[in-house]
Chain A
Amino acid sequence: MRFDLTDEQRAIREAVRDLCASRYGIEAARRAADGATGDALWPELAKSGWAGLGVAQPHGGQGLGVLELALVVEELGYALAPAAFLGNAAAGLLVAAAGTEQQQARVLPGVASGERRAAFGVLDARGDAMLLDPDAATVFVVANGDRAVVADPAKQRMESLPSLDLTRRLVKLIEVDGEAMTRGVQRGLDQVEVLVAAELVGVAQHALDLALEHAKQRQQFGRPIGAYQAVSHRCADMLVAVESARSAVLSAAWTADHQPDQLAFAASVAKALAGDAAWHATASALQIHGGIGFTWEHPIHLFLRRAAASSRFLGSVDEHLERAAELGGLGGETTAPVAAELSGAARR
């Protein structure tokens, strides 16, 4: 048992953190929020080989796992980087999990090199889809439940949607036209849920850092507001939520790579904890900032918007809680270890 990153994994995280800190501060997110198009970060991410981390080597990737992708995505979430990395990685995971050999050979090399980027979205019951960051993508992958479709962007009818998350472009695809994938879709979706959760952990961590910075510096009644327990205890609760979500994301990402039959439970735990942590951390950070936190200029609303949107993408907190309940002891058959223990205990 070693719940700890390897040196190589640490190096990946540090490198992404350094790139984001040096080149893509909050100004890049702000420019995107104010409607700037184009994604200056994308070529750098692709050039560094990070886009191909999770793609198998025969398809031009590095053959690493969901864990390495999650480390990159958490840092991008922290920076609120306007990069289409998540959607490209998500589409790659889906095609690797559910695509035919032919589809994999067609899509994955472009995902890995970043030269033919993929975008990802969710299907609805009518066959329409909501897609993230479509710009410059050469293939769309949309999925839901046990159904997924690989689609050519040129053949789609699209409508631009006003995005709650100002740093992310959103479009609606009408009656998606493409090739269906049917095997292994749920496993691919669970892997993507872990990535979305990783991004939310980054968002929550940044909100906590902003709150702490303000609480230490802002003076009222003659002392820093962070000295008051109404503020400091709120920060302590944020810490507990962020660290719990991070533990759950790391564990779920490792589970995706090493114990895929137990991924559904781990993914729901991670997505529920990360969704909650991100919303409460961003809302608390806004509250701690007081009036300034409610202004358009202050960046905290960009994080709050990301948290509100992504915590509802691929299953809300409540939906994941219900799945955790089902797999964790309340409902029928399950492969999750916790449930195995629970049913054993119940028999005694």
Chain B
Amino acid sequence: MDLTLSADELAFRDEIRAWLRDHHPGPEPDGTEAGFEHRLAWQRTLHDAGYAGIAWPKEYGGRGATLMEQTIFNEELVRARAPAPANVLGLIMGGPVVITLGTEDQKRRFLAPILSGAEIWCQGFSEPDSGSDLASVRTRAERADGGWRITGQKVWTSFAHRARWCMLLTRTSDDARYHNLTYFVCDMRQPGVTVRPLRQITGDTEFNEVFFDSVFVGDENVIGRPGEGWNVALTTLMFERPGLGVASALGIKLALGELAELIRARGLANDSAIRRRFGKLVVDAEAIRLNGYRGLSRTQRDGVPGPEGSMIKIQWATVNQALTELAVDVLGVDALAIDSVWTHRMLRARANSIEGGTSEIQRNILAERVLALPRLR
């Protein structure tokens, strides 16, 4: 057991840290579109330095970084308060699924523009009637000459209005559940695709509704085989989270630093009730970080990720919600007027226990796959 970074890991961290010092893009401008342009420029900077897609294999333009290097890289980005690259869904999900299950033609067509940010990707999984029960999607793809015609509605689709490609999960037959789905890469720039921004409780519009009206997708854009869409979707989601626990814990610690300043500024640093709640957040953030590292070591030893993904997702949502609630409690009656930082964060944090799999679904995963409890269904 050794909880310090090895000489190689330290060297890698110092390399990233020094590079970030020289290339940090500065604070993100206000506004959804301006923010997106900022992150797009940032992705080009990362790409020019060879840091876009560091987890991707070298032969596809990545860096072939180890799990620990990916973790260090993500942690340094958070520490420097650098933004995520604009094409984050393409980098962490779209690219890896094409590399794992795509044809040679698909790899040649899709991978390079994901890395450079030239083509943005979005994810069309959730539907109004298919949230936690993802396999029940109803968006249909019907056979057409040389491909498929797709009709239906997707929801919670980030970046849809800027995206060239959509990872689209559709129903293509009346076969048994889990065998009736097909996974497409769908061109978003064509007639029949309508994107409508969805206003969320913060007033922002991070997400969209997307309507598909007889939209064409060629056979060459099916990932895997028709009918195998469920497994492709699971593969996609598998790429979503590994190694993110450590970075998300650091994000919480940075927010705790801001909260500590607020508590001191309000003269509450010696209030025992506040101290206990703050201490609970510190302790829980540390638990996320340590569970993250322990999970990484287990993955390196066993070759497969353990249950820590679901554990950390639950803990992160709980801590982030409690943190923003404490901040708003510290504001007291001033919270009646919207504060530029904390009221927004408190409202945004309500999504944390829903997005990326609800906390209830994560508990189902732990109960069934880790604890081997019987399924209700």
Contacts and interface: CB of A to CB of B under 8 A. Distances in A.
A247 B280 contact: no
A226 B374 contact: yes
Contact of B253 (A229, A255, A341): A341
A345 B252 CA distance: 11
B367 A269 contact: no
A40 interface: no
Contacts of A239: 307, 311, 366, 370-371
A328 B315 contact: no
A244 interface: yes
Interface centre among B6, B250, B287 (most CB of A within 10 A): B287
Contact of A345 (B258, B298, B374, B376): B258
Interface in B248-292: 250, 253-254, 256-258, 260-261, 263-264, 269, 272, 275-276, 278-280, 282-287, 290-291
Contacts of B301: 4
A320 B105 CA distance: 58
B215 interface: no
A303 interface: no
B375 A236 contact: no
Nearest to B315: A240
Nearest to B293: A3
Contact of A273 (B9, B79, B250, B287): B287
Given A239-B371, A247-B287, A346-B261, 17 more contacts: A1-B297, A2-B297, A3-B3, A4-B294, A229-B364, A236-B366, A237-B363, A243-B311, A244-B287, A245-B287, A251-B290, A268-B283, A269-B282, A321-B279, A324-B282, A328-B256, A331-B269
Given A235-B367, A239-B370, A330-B269, A4 B254 contact: no
A329 B256 contact: yes
Nearest to A253: B1
Interface string A113-132: 00000000000000000000
A331 B275 CA distance: 10
Q: Secondary structure of the A side of the interface?
A: helix
Nearest to B264: A330
B286 A322 contact: no
Dominant secondary structure at the B interface? helix
A338 interface: yes
Nearest to B260: A329
Most buried by B among A1, A4, A247, A329: A1
Size category of the binding interface on chain B: 35 or more
Contacts of B79: 341
A-B CB proximity, top 3 nearest: A321-B279, A325-B279, A328-B282
B9 A1 contact: yes
Interface in B209-239: none
A125 B269 CA distance: 27
Greatest chain A CB density within 10 A among B1, B4, B275, B360 is at B1
B286 A269 contact: yes
B253 A345 contact: yes
B5 interface: yes
B130 to A, nearest CB: 20
A3 B366 contact: no
B275 A233 contact: no
B314 interface: yes
Contacts of B3: 1, 3, 251, 254-255, 258
Interface of B: 1-6, 9, 68, 79, 81, 250, 253-254, 256-258, 260-261, 263-264, 269, 272, 275-276, 278-280, 282-287, 290-291, 293-294, 296-298, 301, 307-308, 311, 314-315, 360, 362-364, 366-368, 370-376
Contacts of A323: 279
A38 interface: no
A243 B275 CA distance: 25
A308 to B, nearest CB: 19
B40 to A, nearest CB: 25
Interface in A318-348: 318, 320-326, 328-331, 338, 341-346, 348
A269 B287 contact: yes
Given A212-B373, A272-B283, A233 B363 contact: yes
Nearest to A228: B376
- Counting contact residues on chain A (CB < 8 A from B), the size range is 35 or more
A224 B285 CA distance: 35
Contacts of A183: none
A247 B284 CA distance: 12
A246 to B, nearest CB: 8
B290 to A, nearest CB: 4
Nearest to B1: A254
B373 A215 contact: yes
A5 interface: yes
Contacts of A258: 3-4
Which of A4, A212, A231, A331 is most buried by chain B, counting CB atoms within 10 A of its CB? A4
Contacts of A231: 373
Given A224-B374, A227-B374, A321-B279, A346 B296 contact: no
Q: Which of A224, A236, A251, A348 has the most CB of B within 10 A?
A: A236
Contact of B1 (A216, A226, A250): A250
A324 B283 contact: yes
B373 A235 contact: yes
Contacts of A216: 372-374
A254 to B, nearest CB: 5
A250 B260 CA distance: 28
A73 B373 CA distance: 29
Given A269-B287, A331-B269, A346-B257, A2 B375 contact: no
Contact of B360 (A5, A233, A245, A343): A233
Given A3-B3, A254-B3, A343 B257 contact: yes
